[in-house]
Amino acid sequence: MKKVFTCIICPNGCNITAEIDGENIISILGNGCDKGMQYVKQELTVPKRTITSSVLVENGIIPLASVRITDPIPKERIPDMMTYIRSIKVAAPVEAGFVIDPNALGLETKLIVTKSVPYERKQK
């Protein structure tokens, strides 16, 4: 069976055509590099994505700190990860790179803060 993929690994977005048999690639055309082959393999077995969002910050100069997971997770677990991220609240000051969870949802990915948010005393 022929299947067409858009590689999402880099901005080139190669249009890859693969002849596949179940989870096996018989032939592949259009991938600019080896990562395209890896991507197609992953799409055929467990499609994975990274995810970015933000968490609430208490007493920060802005109300949110952006976060991301450092490694891709199975696509179907994205809603669980969003629910988890939504439940998190951190206290300012928070530094970019701070690891909120070293193994988020047991999916072998860190959840890290991507923006430093300084502390701001709220006017009463």
Which residues contact another protein (rule: CB under 8 A)? 6-8, 10-13, 15, 49-54, 56, 62-64, 66, 68, 75, 78, 82, 96, 114-116
Tokens of 103: 């193994």
- Indicate the residue among 26 and 82 with the shorter CB distance to another protein: 82
Closest CA to 96 of 116, 76, 82, 80: 116
CA distance 58 to 19: 52
Q: How many helices (H) and strands (E) does the chain have?
A: 2, 10
- Shortest Cβ distance from residue 10 to another protein (Å)? 6
- Indicate the residue among 3 and 75 with the shorter CB distance to another protein: 75
- Indicate the residue among 2 and 49 with the shorter CB distance to another protein: 49
- Shortest Cβ distance from residue 19 to another protein (Å)? 19
- Shortest Cβ distance from residue 43 to another protein (Å)? 10
| One-letter-per-residue 3-state SS of 99-124 | EEECCHHHCCCCEEECCCECECCCCC
